[in-house]
Structure 1
Amino acid sequence: MVDRKTAPSIKNAVDFNIQLQPYQKFTLKNGINVYVIDAGVEEVIQLEWIFMAGNRYETKNLVAAATNHLLKNGTQQYSAFDINEHFEFYGSFLNRACYNETASLSLHSMSKHLDHLLPMVAEVLTNATFPQSELDIFVQNSKQRLSVNLQKSDFVASREIEKIIYGADHPYGKYSSAEAYDALTVNDLKAYYEQYYKNGDCMIFMAGKVPANALDLLEKYFGSLTLTNPVIVVNDEYTEPAQKPYEEDIAVDKDGVQASIRLAQNFPNRLHPDFKEVQVLNTLLGGYFGSRLMSNIREEKGYTYGIHSYIQARKTQSAWMISTEAGRDVAAATIQEVYNEMAILRNELVDDEELMLVKNYILGSLLGDLEGPFQIINRWKSYILNGVGNDYFYESIKTIKEITPQRLQELAFKYLWPEKFYKLVVV
């Protein structure tokens, strides 16, 4: 019987031996790799088809995103309504997403319905037709949504800072426009689909309660497609950009009372030796609710409801971002307080109690992120697609547990200087 008069002992997250369940790997007869986590207690399953079809491969803006969005909006045999009705009948959901390097089609369903659903997924991936009427609706809706968003300072700030960091022609820095939507044609989408989906590079991730015939079904419907397994190559060399960071103010609404503030610097990808350690420094600075920036600028000064810093962990290069919305009249003061916190981290050692709190937060969050098969396969997917080794997870935990106040100060002295950060204020 539980003794409710005695409080349970408290154990720090740093004392846990955190393990990541390994995946099983299978290869279909056309060479496509299938990564599997067979776990969980519920009879549900998630499958994700990852294609090297992100916007970095397009030669015309928005073609990658539009192609991905309209994948399930009509095939040679079925209309968009028929396709959606089919998945809904089985209580499942077929989603799609497009990123910088990759694009995906993901299926969530009960495990027992897989044999009814995979044929329709194969139909979408081999016989999509991209009807003009569906493209017209997509363009109209996207332009309307864009028009509304462009009136919001935070939306404009997030777009503009990436253009500043990466350049307007870089896949990470280019963004949508009404003109680009109007320029889309059905032929553009069909050509992109033919090259990057029907004959593209693909891998499959599967997690949940995996039925006994799942691999046979994947082989039946996808093993004979004209797909190839991608070769993941990541460059870990990093050279700081030659351009000098600059400051910029952009007016969206001259009568607005809120300013959207973005501070950012170019940063190497996750293969750089400093990356794991900087994740700890970033958490201390502004990566969680008890961070230095939140305590100062939200709790003490009351300039904002929230301020956050984070590393954009993209594949080829990244950025260190600090983001907040503050009152227009205190925007300059908010930025100065960020600089002040950088100076403190450069000049003073973090005390052991605060560092232990940060370590426990990071590792505790990690434990929460691994509570089910879907979360586990998503972490493996991130590692595989970014070309890091199978030991990356344990190396990261070791870094978090062993990092010292002295090392954090060294990193702050290396990276946390105001002159290294671009400054953007949108009002």
Structure 2
Amino acid sequence: MLNRKIAPEIKDAVEFNLQLKQSEKFTLDNGIPVYSINAGAQDVTMIELVFYAGNWYEDQNIVAGTTNFLLKNGTSKRTAFEINDHFEYYGAYLNRNCYNETANITLHCLNKHLKQVLPVVEELITDSIFPEEELVIYKQNQIQRLKVSLQKCDFVANRFIDEYLFGFDHPYGRYTSIPDFNALTREQIVKFYNDYYVNGKCLIFVAGNLPTDIFQQLNQAFGHLPLNKKSLPEKSFTVRPVGQKKHRITNDENGVQGAIRIARPFPNRRHPDFMKAQVLNNLFGGFFGSRLMSNIREDKGYTYGIHSYFQNHVADSAWMVSTEAGRDVCEATINEVYKEMQLLRDEPVDEEELLLVRNYMIGSILGDLDGPFQIINRWKNYVLNGLEESYFYDSINTIKAITAEEIQELAQKYLIPEEFFELVVI
């Protein structure tokens, strides 16, 4: 019997032996690869169809995002209202998102209703008609939303810092404008849909307490579609950062708060420094107990929160420091960021602080493995980035084994103020 008078033994997270549940892979009749995780107690399934239909492949700005959004807005058999009503009737949730390289359609559904819901998902992939009236409403709504967002300094800062890092002609550095929405036509959307959805390249990720006939159901719904038959067009883009490193923009003459972005280009996940740099990043500004938070939030009181993180794109990446601070302390905040960079370059981190960061990172990974949806999401990231299962265990070993000297060397290599773009938007 458990003796509740004795406190349980406390263990550091670094002592845990984390294991990544193996995904199962099978292939539909038309060659679509399906990655699955069968786990969980609830009879709920998540199915995510990932298409190579992101901004990378569009010939005109925002065509990819608009196509993805309007997939649910009408087929030859159902109106937008009828489509939404169908999913709602069966308690299912269908979402879609567009990213830089890929776009997805994600379904969450009770297992017992999959047979009623999957045919409608198939209908969206093969028979969306993009009614002109739906496009008109979408453009009006997006233009209005953009006008409101452009009044916010953090929104403007996020747009400009990406342009500074990658160049506006690069998919990672491009942003939307009102003329872009006005220039959209139904013909452009239909062509993109036919090229990258109806006849595009697709992968499927499925997770949950899966029904025994999940393969048959997926094969019946999607295994006959003309997907993965054509090669993707080869598109390459050159990163062209802007020349000037320091930028100050006044977006609101009466603004009392400034959005601060300090960022530099950084290698992607496949670079040998990336895993170790994640430890340095967390130490620097990656969690609530980081040095940036301790200094700039807790000690100086300049901001409610400041964070550093990697923009994890497939081809190229960036190291970003992001915060909002009072207008009168923006410059002081930037100076403190650079001071923390210098400390990491000049002094090795002590073992107590390094252990705290190790425990935080291992604990975060443990949380990310809590449930089938989180596990399949990790597998999806590995598949889309061309990584193997070993990447998971190499990351764990790096977190546990990295030394203070290695962290200092990385800081001396990458935390160089002159290599960072600096932006303040008031």
* TM-score tier (shorter): over 0.9
Q: How far does residue 4 in structure 1 lie from its aligned partner after superposition?
A: 2.0
Alpha-carbon contact 2:309-2:320 (below 8 Å) kept: yes
Residue 380 and residue 71 in structure 1: after superposition, are their counterparts in 2 closer, same or farther (change >3 A)? same
Match of 2:225 in 1: 225
What are the within-5 Å matches in structure 2 for residues 158-173 of structure 1? 158-173=158-173
Specify the alignment match of 1:186 in structure 2.
Answer: 186
- Find the counterpart in structure 2 of residue 216 from structure 1: 216
Q: Is the 8 A contact 1:55 1:62 kept in 2?
A: yes
Q: Counterpart of 1:371? A: 370
Aligned to 1:305, what secondary structure does the other structure show? coil
1:5-44 mapped onto 2 (5 Å cutoff)? 5-44=5-44
Q: CA contact under 8 A between 1:232 and 1:386: conserved in structure 2? A: no
| CA distance, structure 2, for counterparts of residue 231 and residue 20 of structure 1 | 32
Q: Residues 10-409 of structure 1: matches in 2 within 5 Å?
A: 10-228=10-228, 246-409=245-408
The one-character-per-residue Cα deviations of 1:165-214 (angstroms, maximum 9, x if unpaired) are 01011101111111101111111110000000000000100000111121
SS state at 1:71 partner: helix
Moved more, 313-322 or 221-230: 221-230
Q: How many residues align?
A: 424
Question: Quick one: distance in 2 between partners of 1:303 and 1:4?
Answer: 44
Aligned equivalents of 1:379 and 1:125: distance in 2? 25
Q: Distance in 2 between matches of 1:230 and 1:266?
A: 33
Q: Are the counterparts in 1 of residues 164 and 241 from structure 2 also a CA contact under 8 Å?
A: no
SS in 2 for 1:249: strand
Deviations 1:272-297 (A, max 9, x none): 00000000000000000000000000
Rounded to whole Å, the distance in 1 between the matches of 2:202 and 2:185 is 25
Distance 2:29 2:109 in 1: 25
Cα distance change on mapping 1:373 and 1:367 into 2, 3 Å: same
Once residues 243 and 381 of structure 1 are traced to their aligned partners in structure 2, the CA distance between those partners, rounded to angstroms, is 33
Task: Tell me how far apart the structure 2 counterparts of residues 275 and 335 of structure 1 sit (CA, whole Å).
Answer: 25
TM-superposed deviation, 1:240: 9.3
Post-superposition offset of 1:139? 0.5
- The whole-number CA distance in structure 2 between the counterparts of 1:170 and 1:20 is 35
- Counterpart of 2:322 in 1: which secondary structure? strand
**1:242 CA drift (Å):** 7.8
State the AA in 1 paired with 2:171: P
The answer on whether the counterparts of 1:286 and 1:310 sit within 8 Å (CA) in structure 2 is yes
- Secondary structure of the corresponding residue to residue 320 of structure 2: strand
Secondary structure (helix, strand or coil) at the match of 2:192 reads helix
In 2: Cα distance, 1:109 partner to 1:233 partner? 34
Q: Give TM-score, length-normalised by structure 1.
A: 0.97
One-letter amino acid matched to 2:394: E
Is the partner of 2:78 in helix, strand or coil? Answer: coil
Q: What's the CA shift string for 1:85-105, capped at 9, x where partnerless?
A: 110010001110000000000
1:125 counterpart SS class: helix
Instruction: Please give the alpha-carbon distance, in whole angstroms, between the structure 1 residues aligned to 2:217 and 2:26.
Output: 13
The one-letter code matched in structure 2 to 1:364 is G
Against the structure 1 CA distance between its residues 233 and 307, is the aligned structure 2 distance closer, same or farther, given a 3 Å change threshold?
farther
Cα distance, 1:388–1:179 mapped onto 2, change above 3 Å: same
What is the distance in 2 between the residues matched to 1:232 and 1:324? Answer: 38
Letter paired with 2:335 = Q
| AA of the residue aligned to 2:289 | G
Q: Secondary structure at the match of 2:40?
A: coil
Shift of 1:6: 1.3
Distance in 2 (alpha carbons) for counterparts of 1:9 and 1:230: 57
- Is the CA contact (8 Å cut-off) linking 1:203 and 1:229 kept in structure 2? no
SS in 2 for 1:407: helix
Deviations 1:138-186 (A, max 9, x none): 1011011100000000000011000100101110111111110111111
CA distance in 2, matches of 1:243, 1:102: 26
**SS of aligned partner of 1:76:** coil
* 1:32 aligned partner, one-letter code: I
Matched residue SS, 1:97:
strand
Q: Tell me, which stretches of 5 or more residues in structure 2 are unaligned? A: none
Matched residue SS, 1:304: coil
1:204 match: secondary structure = strand
* Structure 1 ranges of 4+ moved more than 3 A: 229-234, 239-245
Distance of 1:294 and 1:73 partners within structure 2:
44
Superimposed CA distance per residue, residues 371-410 of structure 1 (whole angstroms, 9 cap, x where no aligned partner)? 0000000000000001111211001001100000000000
Q: In structure 2, what is the Cα distance between the partners aligned to 1:232 and 1:183?
A: 25
Alpha-carbon distance in 1 for matches of 2:420, 2:221: 50
User: Which residue of 1 is the match for residue 420 of structure 2?
Assistant: 421
Q: One-letter code of the match for 2:353? A: E
Give the superposition deviation at 1:232. 10
Distance in 1, Cα, partners of 2:218 & 2:403:
48
Q: What SS does structure 1 have at the residue aligned with 2:72?
A: coil
Shift of 1:66: 0.4
Instruction: Could you tell me which runs of 5 or more consecutive residues in structure 1 were left unpaired when the two chains were aligned.
Output: none
Please state whether the residue corresponding to 2:357 is helix, strand or coil.
helix
Structure 2 contact 87–93 (Cα < 8 Å) conserved: yes
SS in 1 for 2:304: strand
Distance 1:127 1:192, change over 3 A: same
Deviations 1:241-295 (A, max 9, x none): 7865510111100111101100000011100000000000000000000000000
What SS does the corresponding residue of 1:17 show, helix, strand or coil?
Answer: coil
